A and B are shown apart, each in its own frame.
Chain A
Amino acid sequence: MKYQDEYRDPVAAQNLLRAIHNTISQPWTIMEVCGGQTHSIVRYGIDQLLPPEIELVHGPGCPVCVTPLELIDKAVDIASRPDVTFCSFGDMLRVPGSRSDLLAVKANGGDVRIIYSPLDCLKIAARNPARTVVFFAVGFETTAPANAMALWQAKRRGLDNFAVLVSHVLVPPAMTAVLQSPNNRVQGFLGAGHVCSVMGCQEYRDLARQFHVPIVVTGFEPLDLLEGIYRCVRMLENHEIGVENQYARAVPTIGNPASQKLLQEVFEVTDRMWRGIGTIPRSGYRLSAMYADFDAEQRFSLARIDTSESSQCISGAILQGGKKPYDCPIFGTACTPASPQGATMVSSEGACAAYYNYRRRLSPSNAELSNRQVQQT
Chain B
Amino acid sequence: MCLGIPGLVIELYTEHDVLMGRVDFDGVRKEVCLAYLPEVSVGNYVIVHVGFALSIVDETEAQEVFKFLDQMSELDELDGMQP
Residue of A nearest to B64 (CB): A248
With a cutoff of 8 Å between Cβ atoms, the chain B residues found around residue A156 in the complex are 16-17
Majority secondary structure of chain B interface residues (helix, strand, loop or mixed): mixed
Taking the nearest CB of chain B, how far is it from the CB of A377, in angstroms? Answer: 44
Taking the nearest CB of chain B, how far is it from the CB of A354, in angstroms? Answer: 12
Residue of B nearest to A258 (CB): B36
Asked if A142 contacts B18 (CB within 8 A), the reply is: no
- Chain B, range 1-29, C-beta contacts under 8 Å to A: 1-6, 8, 16-18, 25-26
Asked if B61 contacts A119 (CB within 8 A), the reply is: no
Instruction: Select one of A4, A194, A248 contacting B1, CB under 8 A.
Output: A194
Asked if B6 contacts A61 (CB within 8 A), the reply is: no
With a cutoff of 8 Å between Cβ atoms, the chain A residues found around residue B61 in the complex are 248-249
Asked if A192 contacts B37 (CB within 8 A), the reply is: no
Taking the nearest CB of chain A, how far is it from the CB of B38, in angstroms? Answer: 6
Tell me how many residues of B have a C-beta within 8 Å of chain A.
38
- Chain A, range 242-286, C-beta contacts under 8 Å to B: 246, 248-252, 256, 258-259, 262
- Measured between alpha carbons, how far is A62 from B3 in the docked complex, in Å? 11
- Measured between alpha carbons, how far is A322 from B56 in the docked complex, in Å? 37
A69 interfacial contact with B, CB 8 Å: no
Chain A: interface size category: 35 or more
Assuming the contacts A15-B69, A149-B35, A249-B57, asked whether A197 and B4 have C-beta atoms less than 8 A apart, the reply is: yes
Majority secondary structure of chain A interface residues (helix, strand, loop or mixed): helix
With a cutoff of 8 Å between Cβ atoms, the chain A residues found around residue B25 in the complex are 1
With a cutoff of 8 Å between Cβ atoms, the chain B residues found around residue A140 in the complex are 1-2
Instruction: Select one of B18, B47, B64 contacting A194, CB under 8 A.
Output: B47
**Told that A117-B50, A146-B51, A156-B16 touch, could you supply 5 new A-B pairs with CB distance under 8 A?**
A1-B6, A12-B69, A16-B69, A36-B3, A256-B55
Interface residues of A (CB under 8 A from B): 1-4, 6-7, 12, 15-16, 19, 34-37, 39, 61-62, 89, 116-120, 139-140, 142-143, 145-146, 149, 153, 156-157, 192-195, 197-198, 220, 223-224, 227, 246, 248-252, 256, 258-259, 262, 349
